[in-house]
Amino acid sequence: MGYTPDYIDTLLPNQVFVFGSNALGYHTGGASGMARKRFGAVWGQLEGIQGQSYAIPVDFGKGNVAPDIQPYVDRFISYAKSHPENHFLVTRVGCGIAGFTDQEMANYFREALSMNNVSLPRSFVNALQNNGKTDFDLERFVKAQGSDAGSYQQALEEIKSGHRSGKWIWYVFPQIKGLGHSHNSEYYGISGEDEARAYLSHPVLGERLKEITVTFLKLESHSAYSVLGRPEDIKVQSCMTLFDVVSPHDIFEEVLNKYYDGNRCPKTMRRIGIRQARPTMKKLTITKDCRIMLGDKEIKMEPIVKAVYLLFLNHPEGIAFKCLPDYREELTRIYVKLKPLGLNERVIRSIEDVTNPLLNSINEKCSRIRAAFTTIVDASLLDQYIIIGKSGEAKKISLPRELVVWE
């Protein structure tokens, strides 16, 4: 029956989806989430057959010493032997949140290698048959990059133009496996550091990744979002983080510094198993010409959006949305400072709308403020720089005012 496919969302009647569960039987993300949503896994049941799925406990929580997993796998193997009418598709059990390597988990399933009604992941089979040396299927990237639907040359031309439009991110800027649940994110996902090194050493793929990364780095733009769009800008951050880990102090680090203020993708770092140093808050500078600077990065906003941000920055105590009419004149003065010749009937209407608590304009402006900071500020610090607050209470920018510099 070959290897277990990298991505499974449907089963034949006689097939069983085998996945790793946690000690509580909470089937949330990854393969366990798929098992619950599609294949009958029961919330709270940590082991055994459940609909068209079979759970093997592997995750016992951070800081907890996992018991010997072999008995759980042995019980699965015994069940599979007693049900030869079914075919069991073993996923990369334990290689996600639980943190085991493919080699470690493959050793538990050694007996299953010779069973006709059990399929194992390619990485498990390689680990068992090739003394841990994995034969990565890098040809899947070569084939995709040569396709008419979104070739590498098309991707390179789009990056040169400063505007992505095609759907080629997954196989041109590959990311660590496990960040998404789509077919492309699973199929083109990089299994770990070893496959990333193999990709970078590949005579075609490695050179192409460096070429398109250098092209991206040379653009005049300093906004990954303006070039790539969302969520592709986050995917490229993930790609750069992965290859920066396996090839430090290279062009990947330069991209992270230029477009992401030096921030690595935290989800990618966690999947690899590396703890990232906690990012620190930077000073926010309002220049004489009213630009908003975070370090050497400018936070760009439309004038009315920027005026709203500066209004709230002027009031560290916060402003309740219901009280916005009281701040209409102040907001107008701020806008005039931003655009001395820009106060016309349309602008006046916009100011009236944004200070009208019965309209949604203020919420829309807050969303735009969040979007402006998202690609520059680390996700763990984002709430410090934007306008937030509980419903019905004063909304404010929580950034300590000693970090705000008015030139």
Structure confidence at residue 65 (pLDDT): 46
Structure confidence at residue 175 (pLDDT): 93
Round the average pLDDT of the chain to a whole number and report it. 88
Topology of the domain covering 284-406: Arc Repressor Mutant, subunit A (1.10.10)
Q: Is pLDDT of 341 > 80?
A: no
Mean pLDDT of 339-349: 85
Mean pLDDT of 331-339: 92
Residue 24 pLDDT level (bands cut at 50, 70, 90): confident
CB-side exposure of 268: number of CA atoms within 13 Å? 24
Q: How far apart are the C-alpha atoms of 158 and 150, rounded to whole Å?
A: 11
pTM score over 0.85: no
Mean pLDDT comparison of 111-115, 128-132, 142-146, 317-321, highest-scoring range:
317-321
DSSP state of 278: P
DSSP strands (E only) in 132-290: 284-286
Rounded to the nearest 10 degrees, how much is the dihedral formed by the CA atoms of 143, 145, 150, 151? -120
Q: How far apart are the C-alpha atoms of 374 and 381, rounded to whole Å?
A: 10
Contact 200, 243 (CB under 8 A): yes
Q: Is pLDDT of 97 > 80?
A: no
Mean pLDDT of 355-368: 93
Mean pLDDT of 222-236: 90
Structure confidence at residue 64 (pLDDT): 46
Q: Which residue has the tokens 């009604």?
A: 117
Q: Which residue has the tokens 């105590």?
A: 317
- pLDDT tens, residue by residue, 386-405: 999 988 899 999 998 888 99
Give the CA distances from residue 144 to residues 147, 173, 339, in Å, rounded to whole numbers and listed in that order. 5, 12, 49
Q: In the CATH hierarchy, which top-level class contains the domain 139-272?
A: mainly alpha
Structure confidence at residue 63 (pLDDT): 47
Q: Is pLDDT of 172 > 80?
A: yes
Annotated domain spans of the chain: 15-129, 139-272, 284-406
- The residue type of 329 is E
| 393 CB neighbour count, 10 Å cutoff | 10
CATH fourth-level superfamily of 15-129: Leucine Aminopeptidase, subunit E, domain 1 (3.40.220.10)
| φ/ψ (deg, to 5) at 391 | -60, 130
Mean pLDDT comparison of 152-161, 341-350, 378-387, highest-scoring range:
152-161
Higher-pLDDT residue of 135 and 291 is 291
DSSP state of 190: B
Q: Which of 45-49, 108-112, 224-228, 378-382 has the lowest mean pLDDT?
A: 378-382
Residue 130 pLDDT level (bands cut at 50, 70, 90): low
Same fold, 15-129 and 284-406: no
Rounded to the nearest 10 degrees, how much is the dihedral formed by the CA atoms of 164, 166, 170, 172? -70
Q: Is pLDDT of 62 > 90?
A: no
